[in-house]
Amino acid sequence: MTTRPIAIVGAGEAGTRAAIALRDHGYGGPLILIGEELHPPYERPPLSKAALTAEAEPSPSAIADAYRLADLRVERLAGARVTAIDRAEHRLVTSEHGGIDYERLLLATGARARQLRAPGGEHAILLRTYDEALALRRLLRPGARVVVVGGGFIGLELAASARERGASVVVLEAAPRILTRGVPADIAEKIAARHRRAGVEIVAGCAISYIARDGGAFSVALSDGRIFAADCVIAGVGAAPEVELAAAAGLAIDNGIAVNGRLQSSDPDIFAAGDCCSFPHALYDGRRVRLEAWRNAQDQGAFVARALIGASEDYAVTPWFWSDQYDLHLQISGLVDAGATVISRDLGEGAVLNFHLAEDGRLVAASAFGPIGKIAKDARVAEMLIAKRAKPDPAYLAAGERKLKALLAA
């Protein structure tokens, strides 16, 4: 009898890392990696940064090229779309390759950029793929007028990249300030100030009435009557988990594909990892979260490989986010909104590290901003303290002259 493969739908960070980890952990059976893009699996963080600002047009930053996947005996189906899951028969239906049987299935379908919900919102450019980054790169030229809708991570990274390319930039944000999701107000203001120094105009607390197009030019009208002329409008208003395939197959959905601590869905033979799934986080009393983050996709890809071949532990890796904008670096460990008290540590040269403590004194998050050389070491220690469920002395945390590393042994 022929052994049916482990099939992975989604050849991004989580799916590709899972395929590599399966081989690292000794799985020797057939393995299929299915992706809709023709490019070999590549890293997405550079798309809003280096892919736009590099002097020469870059190539995708490969996670694993065709030779690496061949060495691992991973059958890669590129440019392939899975249209249905037949759970009873353990079979995938594809538009290009017919039916594909599976023994166990990993859904690593990721997320899609949200389209702007305003009249004319279809004129706004979205960024999710390498090809979209190349198309955008051609528009970001010196003197171009760029309007970025959305003051979150992706919108601000795009704003910084556009300025580095010599474009004039306006950022429009519906909320009262930028980075309302997961970034403390003091750090958000530091980031806003850095953008303003670079020449970016930030308009917060605004609503878009419509976007109009006239040939190659655009007008972005706000509800208060202001109108911004643009050669390019970019939407950075978040991402939605790709759950249509899972939902059509009858899997439980809850802000993504709902999985348990092992990343196992409501079907015991189907798992999910990365941006597409929500899971109960062991570090936060089983709170269900969905994390749109590069390292979470990496970590869950490696973790779910063990679960696919029988491991029983629950996922408990500390959430970690990062963003580079101009010459400054942002790192956030843990879930900021789980904290009740904030203790700040001055790291010098304008760098700051905030510690977010729960009501019982446990360190649940840390947020750092500044030159990477000033924040990286202490931010890493803070991440380790979160994982240890430490309850450090607030006075010690605030004392910049005292070594954080000493708390790890306490």
Domain containing residue 93: CATH number:
3.50.50.60
Q: Do 368 and 224 belong to one domain?
A: no
Boundary residue ending a domain (237, 266, 284):
237
Percent of the chain at pLDDT exceeding 90: 95
Say if residue 171's pLDDT is above 70. yes
**For 355-396, how does the pLDDT look when each residue is reduced to its tens digit (9 = 90+)?**
999 999 999 999 999 999 999 999 999 999 999 999 999 999
Q: Do 219 and 180 belong to one domain?
A: yes
Q: Do 262 and 350 belong to one domain?
A: no
Please name which of 122, 178, 135 lies closest in space to residue 170, comparing C-alpha atoms.
178
For residue 379, what is the domain's CATH number?
3.30.390.30
Q: Do 10 and 26 belong to one domain?
A: yes
Is 150 inside a domain boundary? yes
Q: Do 83 and 33 belong to one domain?
A: yes
Q: Do 95 and 77 belong to one domain?
A: yes
Tokens of 389: 């469920």
Question: Residue 71 is part of which domain span?
Answer: 6-112+240-308
**For 103-115, how does the pLDDT look when each residue is reduced to its tens digit (9 = 90+)?**
999 999 999 999 9
Question: pTM for this structure?
Answer: 0.95
Boundary residue ending a domain (191, 214, 237):
237
Say if residue 410's pLDDT is above 80. no
Region 325-343 average pLDDT = 95
Say if residue 25's pLDDT is above 80. yes
Is 1 inside a domain boundary? no
DSSP 56: S
Q: Do 367 and 273 belong to one domain?
A: no
Report H helices in 279-393.
Answer: 294-308, 372-387
> 377, 403 in Cβ contact below 8 A?
no
**For 109-138, how does the pLDDT look when each residue is reduced to its tens digit (9 = 90+)?**
999 999 999 999 999 999 999 999 999 999
Please name which of 394, 285, 371 lies closest in space to residue 335, comparing C-alpha atoms.
285
- Exposure of 148 in the CB half-sphere (CA atoms within 13 A): 31
Q: Do 251 and 224 belong to one domain?
A: no
Q: Do 102 and 205 belong to one domain?
A: no
The pLDDT, as a whole number, for residue 1 is 44
Boundary residue ending a domain (274, 308, 342):
308
> 272, 107 in Cβ contact below 8 A?
yes
Q: How confident is the model at residue 2 (pLDDT cuts 50, 70, 90)?
A: low
Is 78 inside a domain boundary? yes
Report how many domains make up the chain: 3
Q: Do 119 and 233 belong to one domain?
A: yes
- Exposure of 146 in the CB half-sphere (CA atoms within 13 A): 32
Is 318 inside a domain boundary? no
Is 320 inside a domain boundary? no
Q: Do 156 and 99 belong to one domain?
A: no
Tell me the pLDDT of the chain averaged across its residues.
96
Tokens of 404: 């954080």
**For 28-73, how does the pLDDT look when each residue is reduced to its tens digit (9 = 90+)?**
999 999 999 999 999 999 999 999 999 999 899 999 999 999 999 9
Q: Do 129 and 73 belong to one domain?
A: no
Is 316 inside a domain boundary? no
Q: How confident is the model at residue 97 (pLDDT cuts 50, 70, 90)?
A: confident
